[in-house]
Structure 1
Amino acid sequence: MTDDELIAAARAAAGHSYSPYSGFAVGAALRFTDGRVFTGTNIENAAYGPTVCAERVAVFKAMSEGVRGGLETVAVTGPPGKGGGSPITPCGVCRQVLTELAQLGGTDPDILCVGDHEVRKVKLTELLPHAFGPASLK
């Protein structure tokens, strides 16, 4: 799957968002070195605290299927026109969860931050330098 196809998968996932409070539908798609792709979308809750971001939904789907590493690329999309149409990045909690999965496989995945007319490609370690992870507990 190409980066463009991964972005399209993230956009399609955003179509299933449950975001009645923020109106900010987010989609995420994770590509692994073995070719598998897992998608997720944000799920809001009236109590706000139980809300789950798209990236975490995708990570949890992958891990619930037994994936423990091999994270290669992540695409994150937001709703067109919102936030000025600028590329969006994973929130801090999602960066931590992505780091856990990446460190299990010793990878530093590309993060495709998608906006209306621009895609910024950055490494996960650029978004969360000096991250706490599994090795920190040894």
Structure 2
Amino acid sequence: MDTGTIVDLIERCQKAKAHSYNRYSNFRVGAALLCQDGTIYTGCNVENASYGLTICAERTAIVKAVSEGHRMFTAIAISSDLVHEFITPCGACRQFLVEFGVDWEVFMTKPDLTYKRMKTGELLPLCFVPEALEKDRVNGPA
């Protein structure tokens, strides 16, 4: 992936956090998802008084893309307001990311636009992937 695309993705995720609905945690998160065809979808976290119903920025961006017919992704960038640490996806988001492959890029950023790059599968080692549902089981295949 070229540097210009990475910078664009990181800038878009930084802008996306401005739309965050974070009245409970005051923790803004933004995401920008790059589809294989070059389309970019952004997302932000949307909190809920019932905390378990909160939706993370990464999942918001993926749901937007999937709802428009996209299933193949190249990269996602995520941002928050953390100054000294790179934002990382939560466990639920890591599982959500590997649903669409274990070998695409995740750019975890800081507000100064620096980033750390990892593959989805690196973020969730020994992950449970869709192919696992096709493996032999005690009672035979599904």
- Picking from 4, 8, 12, the partner of 2:15 is 12
- Picking from 124, 134, 137, the partner of 1:128 is 124
- Picking from 107, 110, 115, the partner of 2:110 is 115
- Picking from 72, 75, 85, the partner of 2:74 is 72
Q: How do 1:1-138 and structure 2 match up within 5 A?
A: 2-69=5-72, 71-79=73-81, 82=82, 84-102=83-101, 108-117=103-112, 118-138=114-134
TM-score (norm 2): 0.86
Q: Secondary structure at the match of 1:2?
A: helix
Q: Secondary structure at the match of 2:122?
A: helix
Q: Does the 8 Å CA contact 1:86/1:116 hold for their aligned counterparts?
A: no
Aligned partners of 1:91 and 1:32: how far apart in 2? 21
Q: Does the 8 Å CA contact 2:34/2:40 hold for their aligned counterparts?
A: yes
Aligned partners of 1:66 and 1:25: how far apart in 2? 27
How many correspondences in the alignment? 130
Q: Any stretches of 5+ residues in structure 2 without a counterpart? A: 135-142
Bigger radius of gyration: 2
Aligned partners of 1:85 and 1:64: how far apart in 2? 35
Q: Secondary structure at the match of 1:125?
A: helix
Q: Following TM superposition, by how much is the alpha carbon of 1:97 offset from its aligned partner in structure 2, in angstroms?
A: 0.6
Aligned partners of 1:36 and 1:65: how far apart in 2? 11
Aligned partners of 2:39 and 2:100: how far apart in 1? 14
TM-score (norm 1): 0.89
Q: Does the 8 Å CA contact 2:34/2:76 hold for their aligned counterparts?
A: yes
Aligned partners of 1:125 and 1:8: how far apart in 2? 24
Q: Deviations over 1:24-83 (max 9, x none)?
A: 1000011122101111000001111110000000111111111122x111101002xx3x
Aligned partners of 1:129 and 1:86: how far apart in 2? 21
Q: Following TM superposition, by how much is the alpha carbon of 1:98 offset from its aligned partner in structure 2, in angstroms?
A: 0.8
Q: Does the 8 Å CA contact 2:14/2:79 hold for their aligned counterparts?
A: yes
Aligned partners of 1:102 and 1:37: how far apart in 2? 17
